[in-house]
Amino acid sequence: MNVPIVIEPQGQTTSIDACVIWLHGLGANGQDFVSAIPLLGISKEHPIRFVFPTATTIPVTINAGYVMPAWYDIVSVSKTQRQVDEQGISASVARIHALIQEHIDRGISPSRIILAGFSQGAAIAYMAGLSTAQPLGGVVALSGYLPSVALFERVTQPVNQNTPVWIAHGHYDDVVDVELGAQAFDYLQLNGYNVQWQTYPIDHTVSPNELRGMGHFIAKVLAQ
């Protein structure tokens, strides 16, 4: 199993009491968003540990079976849905739950842990972040989607109903259509989740404005 990249706050002398676990997209790795940390604009008053795991390397059906880091296999895609490997999703959710527990065991309260993800990583952030035994501080989904509503409904727990969820999506995304992101928002809102939705004039990527929005959400969660 790949060892996550861990970035500790520089010059921190007091104990770290918050953690952001950030999941990359299909075919990327844990290094993908390390350079984005300063762009969040989070005050140094918040001593945050950032954790960037890398998904297991597997063949991905929609990419002609090429082997790459992936949180689960994607069998087929359309503008409004994905056919996915639920067993692979469950395995990645279990791995992220174990990673969350590791940092709880290191002294960070679940309410001070934020699970973030981009694209396929956002799909796992939904699934793992809203199915924990103890509610997390928040979930961030960038350019993502709910990979399986049926599986989501089987694994989520009422204790996570009030977990703040911040969804951001590029209006011009041609990989994960903005409609998929909106479907996730609509579903969560309809089912009583504490969810926010924001679009940006970008494609399947992140922008400085989006990252600042994410940083504002993180700071707001940690200020509570």
Phi-psi domain of 113 (left: phi exceeds 0; alpha: psi -120 through 50; beta: other): beta
Question: Residue 7: which H helix or E strand, with range?
Answer: strand 5-7
Residue with tokens 């279990």: 94
Q: How far, in Å, are 45, 117, 122, 129, 140 from residue 165 at the CA level?
A: 23, 12, 11, 9, 6
DSSP letters for 169-222:
EETT-SSS-HHHHHHHHHHHHHTT--EEEEEES-SSS--HHHHHHHHHHHHHHH
Catalytic: which of 17, 204, 207, 216? Answer: 204
The answer to whether residues 110 and 137 touch, using CB atoms and an 8 Å cutoff, is yes
List the catalytic residue out of 119, 131, 143, 148. 119
Q: Is 119 a catalytic residue?
A: yes
55 phi-psi bin (left φ>0, alpha ψ -120 to 50, beta other): beta
Q: Which one, of 58, 67, 115, 63, lies nearest residue 89 by Cα?
A: 58
Catalytic residue among 73, 85, 173, 177: 173
Task: List active site positions.
Answer: 119, 173, 204
